[in-house]
Structure 1
């Protein structure tokens, strides 16, 4: 990603492949960032150094703290750890090479690393964005389909999801690495090793831009729009008692009336069952909604013999009323109203997504148009800096916006279990 040329358009087909350079010294002699102000390049490599010093310990602490703290050990925390691993690798591998490139105004690391640099950069950016998408879908399923959540988000399934993200992100670049569709090489225009057109002038940048940026971003927006719609709808219903509740009350009154009219002893009266309004997912800290189920004593008190004695001589209408009531009480759980912790966590995830878009979208849009990098030197360097900033932005967001994560950090530093 560093190239800020991130997903951009082709710069023509005059860029030679790595095989065109006989030695690493030939590659190092290619001048980069010609015509750029020295103060601008100094700002770039100093920023990279700062981001490295913050990103490596920040993401490492996040991984260890969330892994050790049982209080936040849930699906969202696992995806956050996955995101932090991606940012940590980016900080350890991409940022030092980018710092050297800005400082030396050349690529001094050989052909092998010039190949690995864009391969890792593009893949790690994709891992980050798809992980944010996975977190968003996780919250959407919890809010809108709570009955499906415990079945879908088991530890095994979460591990498969994360493995799929990594495999897909790196696998999408295999055609480019084999020079079947574009190739990795040094681009003097953008000043970085990146994806360049192959001999047939083909490049996958626009395809990657759509598949790995546009589509996930649209999916994230749609998920949040759906969540907000559900929240508004559920909040409105919570202010007005549902008609089903009134129907249940009438059915209960009918049962009580028929029981009072019955000449049999009152000990045969069937106990009323509590209503199970919401389901407790049991997997998320932020979901504290409790379910209400009949106690063991109540279940034991309603035996087939008891029901036979009570309802054996009742009319059809009475039985239908009771059956309808029982069916209603065992209906699948409906979308629930998010708790206060849900809302805080959703806000944090939105902040992560907004930070990601703010840092990536400007340079992405700019690189979809062929432009003179020397004329737009400030925009080019600022685009680099914004992209590299994302590696250390997420740990700051966690600390500022999540009380549970702050407690996890404190517990780690205070050596508490």
Structure 2
């Protein structure tokens, strides 16, 4: 560890000089996003699991995958990022640096592939409603989720092992990222197949959904059913599709600037722009709970249900505690002895 820190000092002369104001802003944003993101994604996860209707919804499983990914990013990556910007160097050693990059890019892939799964789910529901229940069984859903996480982090195994590129500290930006090895780096290929291709799939899928719904409305105008769905179900699914499209557009707006700069512009010519692009990328893991609460009635109901449960639980605890202090409640451990005088002379068998 000590040798690693000595090595890190040797590249200070070649490192990018970020304005101190920029690094302070980055550190403060990382701390705020970490706290807000952990709370928001944790609350969302619990709220969805506790809501009976949403818990059984297929889309909820993929949304939970997205929440867990964002929760890991906010709980692991952002605190370490804040430390890096405050110190303006990486001080936690080479192994932690590699793990940081592994979790960062793996989580990003999980988020994007979860959105792909959500989009395909939405399209299947609208285009193949009669086959939907056969395609999305419980077993098949879990297989999809398992594949999302295995593929996402599987892409990062070659650079982690040094087979194709490597994970380590970039001397230019004191950041832990994907580095070339023997003049070979998978960064641009990962960008193409791990970011650009899923984005294209999502955009095409939502375009197909839009045209499918538009054609269906035109043909079935005035009827109460659409492909076997009731009008209420159709309305709810339309809202949910709009919600997921909003999440994807926000993710794209947050991550695209950083991805373009990291891949297309390896040299840091404008440090402020890179700091702002990084802050936008961090924000993507925080805004999803806000989008859920602001745009979808069912998700607001889930949050309200959790809040109601917490309030009722707190009231129950206060009532129980008050009763125990008096000693006359049925919750009191001595209550049975006071109500049954025969306990003074127990029967011997």
**TM-score interval for Structure 1 and Structure 2 normalised by the shorter chain:** 0.7 to 0.9
Among 335, 340, 353, the residue aligned to 2:248: 353
Aligned 8 A contact 2:168 2:179 in 1: yes
Query: 1: distance between equivalents of 2:173 and 2:18?
Result: 12
Gaps of 5+ in 2: 314-349
Aligned 8 A contact 1:63 1:81 in 2: yes
Alignment partner, residue 153 of structure 2: 170
SS of equivalent to 1:35: coil
Higher-RCO chain (CA-CA 8 Å, sequence separation at least 6): 1
Alignment partner, residue 54 of structure 1: 36
Deviation string for 1:64-115 (max 9, x for gaps)? Answer: 1101111212011111111000000000110011000000001011111111
Among 187, 206, 212, the residue aligned to 2:170: 187
Query: 2: distance between equivalents of 1:414 and 1:59?
Result: 18
How far does residue 371 in structure 1 lie from its aligned partner after superposition?
4.9
Deviation string for 1:188-240 (max 9, x for gaps)? Answer: 22330111000x20000111011111111111111111111111111111138
How far does residue 360 in structure 1 lie from its aligned partner after superposition?
1.0
The reply to whether residue 207 of structure 1 matches residue 189 of structure 2 is yes
Alignment partner, residue 222 of structure 1: 204
Aligned 8 A contact 1:62 1:409 in 2: yes
Query: 1: distance between equivalents of 2:203 and 2:183?
Result: 34
Aligned 8 A contact 1:348 1:401 in 2: yes
Alignment partner, residue 279 of structure 1: 228
Alignment partner, residue 13 of structure 1: none
Deviation string for 1:42-63 (max 9, x for gaps)? Answer: 1111000110110001000011
1:348-387 correspondence to structure 2 within 5 Å: 348-373=243-268, 375-387=269-281
The reply to whether residue 393 of structure 1 matches residue 287 of structure 2 is yes
Give the structure with the higher percent helix.
2
Among 108, 127, 130, the residue aligned to 1:147: 130
Deviation string for 1:252-301 (max 9, x for gaps)? Answer: xxxxxxxxxxxxxxxxxxxxxxxx97435xxxxxxx459xxxxxxxxxxx
Distance 1:77 1:184, change over 3 A: same
Query: 1: distance between equivalents of 2:92 and 2:266?
Result: 27
Query: 1: distance between equivalents of 2:231 and 2:5?
Result: 64
Aligned 8 A contact 1:27 1:110 in 2: no
Query: 1: distance between equivalents of 2:248 and 2:115?
Result: 7
RMSD of Structure 2 on Structure 1 (CA): 2.1
Query: 2: distance between equivalents of 1:231 and 1:355?
Result: 23
Distance 1:27 1:356, change over 3 A: farther
Query: 1: distance between equivalents of 2:208 and 2:16?
Result: 48
Among 105, 121, 125, the residue aligned to 2:104: 121
Alignment partner, residue 413 of structure 1: 307
Query: 2: distance between equivalents of 1:168 and 1:376?
Result: 34
Query: 1: distance between equivalents of 2:113 and 2:21?
Result: 36
Aligned 8 A contact 2:226 2:234 in 1: no
Query: 1: distance between equivalents of 2:294 and 2:116?
Result: 21
Alignment partner, residue 62 of structure 2: 79
Among 23, 26, 41, the residue aligned to 2:6: 26
Aligned 8 A contact 2:38 2:71 in 1: yes
Give the length in aligned residue pairs. 307
Deviation string for 1:300-350 (max 9, x for gaps)? Answer: xxxxxxxxxxxxxxxxxxxxxxxxxxxxxxxxxxxxxx7222221111111
Alignment partner, residue 263 of structure 1: none
Query: 2: distance between equivalents of 1:184 and 1:178?
Result: 8
Among 111, 114, 126, the residue aligned to 1:131: 114
Query: 2: distance between equivalents of 1:237 and 1:87?
Result: 41
Query: 2: distance between equivalents of 1:166 and 1:125?
Result: 11
1:304-343 correspondence to structure 2 within 5 Å: 339-343=234-238
Query: 1: distance between equivalents of 2:227 and 2:163?
Result: 53
Aligned 8 A contact 2:94 2:169 in 1: no
